[in-house]
A = this chain, B = another copy of it.
Amino acid sequence: MPKPTFHNLSEAKRRRITDAAVAEFSSVPYAKANLDHVVKAAGISKGSLYQYFGGKADLYRWLLTSWLPERKMAAIGAQAPPPGASIWQILEQAFVAGVRFAVAEPELTRLGIRFLRDHELEPALAEVSRQHRAAADAWLMHLLQQGQARGELRADLDLSVAAGFLAHALGEGMLDQLARALGLDLHEMLDEPGVVGTLTEDQLVTLVRHVTSLFRDGAGVP
């Protein structure tokens, strides 16, 4: 976590530093991320960085556990679902919010994806990631149980299996599908700023419905 000095800096300077760090950590895996790039891009000296943060791991941890979640919250907002919403509406809302964020902030998305892939490196981060997973899991299981009780789900569904797939589908999986729809690789898509913007709201919602439809009743063709 940042040292007090960091909080005393001007908003603009903090921003320069954060931007530089995000750019670096989102473009290469943690082990390859280079603090010299960060300080150069931020226009500060190496010594200063160590006046603000405890080190590389500290900076990375702060970005992922404090800064990124804040940005995400700010961007998505905690939209309460309408009172009588079906679990499909709730899921759809979550899916769409996630994809909209990815479209609006491809760099932050890349940062998050990188984290998913090498969180095992920093034991402290592994714990963070485990908690995230557990929270998402609990939320999904609760939702699915509710759905099953209301008869909104296919009756033959194994909830645990479904929750596992939805967890993936809500995150990376959805982005993969998007990339697929554009004929690209996930990384290619996130690296090209313009391309995601070509997706229409309509395409997006259609894609989301195709995903959720897997868990709803089929049309029942024999």
Contact = CB atoms under 8 A, between A and B. Distances in A.
B161 A210 contact: yes
B154 A180 contact: no
Interface in A79-111: none
B161 A207 contact: yes
Interface residues of A, number: 42
A47 interface: no
Contact of A217 (B118, B161, B187, B220): B220
B161 A211 contact: yes
Interface stretch (A1-9, A162-170, A194-202): A162-170
B160 A181 contact: yes
A117 B30 CA distance: 13
B164 A180 contact: yes
A121 interface: yes
A118 B222 CA distance: 43
Interface of A: 29, 31-32, 117-118, 120-121, 130, 151, 153-158, 160-162, 164-165, 168-169, 173, 176-177, 180-181, 185, 187, 207, 210-211, 213-222
